[in-house]
């Protein structure tokens, strides 16, 4: 007769965390950078249809790394959550904090109760009327939330890239400067020269506070090339 092995809770959680972390580290990084008129998102993604950055609501965007089917599911849930809230109260009553909480609960519950944690890391960002009221929340696979200021890097080598960003980022950058910094960060390699990433291989979007209602906008094609050349 076989007996089930005893596994300590510490070991169980550590195994799950390692598993999730490994899955996330395989993917390409996403960089989120605040600039004077909003928040910019950039990642290396040759696909034009499978997005890692998307619109959730008027002033709220979503960025993710990890397993596509898992974060796509969370993205759709976020759109439903935000639209339902805006419909039952008012558009102005939908905020990033509420959504970040709902995501945190979901990630946390899956991490502790299901056999496999979600291999995703998410940023929920909301652009305010002025830079001081911007909100950027970073959510991990285990449901932990951090309120970030100014910039975030997720995905493979997040720590090294984050350190690079920390050196160069400052408040009040223009969009050109912020995008230049984001793309340099994405192209950074452990050794040697920074890789130049062509505009066609990038997925770039902004939450632009100067737009009237829906702040989210994708930057592609010639517009993106001009912005990158200007940096």
Partner 1 sequence: MTPDPYGRLPHAFTAAGSSSFVDFLAGYAPELLPGRRPLPAGAVPDSPHGTTIVALAFRGGVVVAGDRRATMGPTIASREIEKVFPADEFSAVGIAGSAGLALEMVRLFQLELEHYEKIEGALLSLDGKANRLATMIRGNLGLAMQGLAVVPLFAGFDLHRRVGRIFSYDVTGGRYEEHDHHSVGSGSVFARGSLKKLWHPGLGPQDGVRVAVEALYDAADDDSATGGPDTVRRIWPVVATVTEAGYLRVPEAELADVVDAVLAARRAQHAGSDTGRRVDGGDLR
| Residues listed for the chain | 231
61's CB contacts (< 8 A; 6+ apart) are 39, 41, 53, 54, 55, 124, 125, 126, 205, 207, 215, 216
The least CB distance from residue 62 to partner 1, in Å, is 10
The least CB distance from residue 29 to partner 1, in Å, is 22
110 vs 181 by CB, closer to partner 1: 110
The least CB distance from residue 36 to partner 1, in Å, is 26
Distance CA(105)–CA(144), nearest Å, equals 9
Other CB atoms within 10 Å distance of the CB of residue 135: 19
Contact flag: residue 84 with partner 1 (CB under 8 A): yes
Report the residue from 24, 56, 202, 227 that binds partner 1 according to the rule CB under 8 A.
Answer: 56
> What number of chain residues touch partner 1 (CB under 8 A)?
25
Contact flag: residue 197 with partner 1 (CB under 8 A): no
Contact flag: residue 16 with partner 1 (CB under 8 A): no
Site for partner 1 in 63-82 (CB under 8 A): 73-74, 76-77, 79-81
Interface residues toward partner 1, by CB under 8 A: 49, 51, 54-56, 73-74, 76-77, 79-81, 83-84, 86-88, 102-103, 105-106, 108-110, 113
């Amino acid at each position: 007769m076989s007996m089930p092995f005893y596994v300590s809770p510490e070991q169980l959680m550590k195994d799950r965390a390692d598993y999730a972390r490994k899955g996330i580290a395989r993917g390409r990084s996403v960089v989120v950078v605040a600039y004077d008129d909003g928040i910019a998102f950039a990642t290396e993604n040759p696909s034009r249809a499978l997005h890692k950055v998307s619109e959730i609501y008027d002033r709220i965007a979503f960025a993710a790394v990890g397993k596509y089917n898992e974060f796509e599911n969370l993205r759709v849930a976020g759109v439903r959550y935000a639209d339902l809230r805006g419909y039952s109260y008012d558009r102005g009553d939908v905020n990033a904090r509420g959504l970040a909480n709902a995501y945190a609960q979901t990630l946390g519950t899956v991490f502790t109760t299901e056999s496999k944690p979600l291999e995703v890391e998410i940023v929920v960002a909301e652009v305010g009327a002025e830079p001081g009221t911007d909100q950027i929340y970073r959510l991990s696979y285990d449901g932990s939330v951090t309120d970030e200021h100014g910039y975030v890097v997720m995905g493979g080598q997040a720590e090294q890239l984050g350190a690079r960003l920390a050196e160069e980022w400052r408040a009040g950058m223009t969009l050109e400067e912020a995008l230049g910094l984001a793309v340099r960060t994405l192209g950074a390699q452990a050794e040697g020269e920074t890789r130049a990433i062509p505009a066609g291989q990038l997925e770039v979007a902004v939450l632009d506070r100067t737009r009237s209602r829906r702040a989210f906008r994708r930057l592609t094609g010639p517009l993106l090339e001009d912005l990158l050349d200007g940096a």
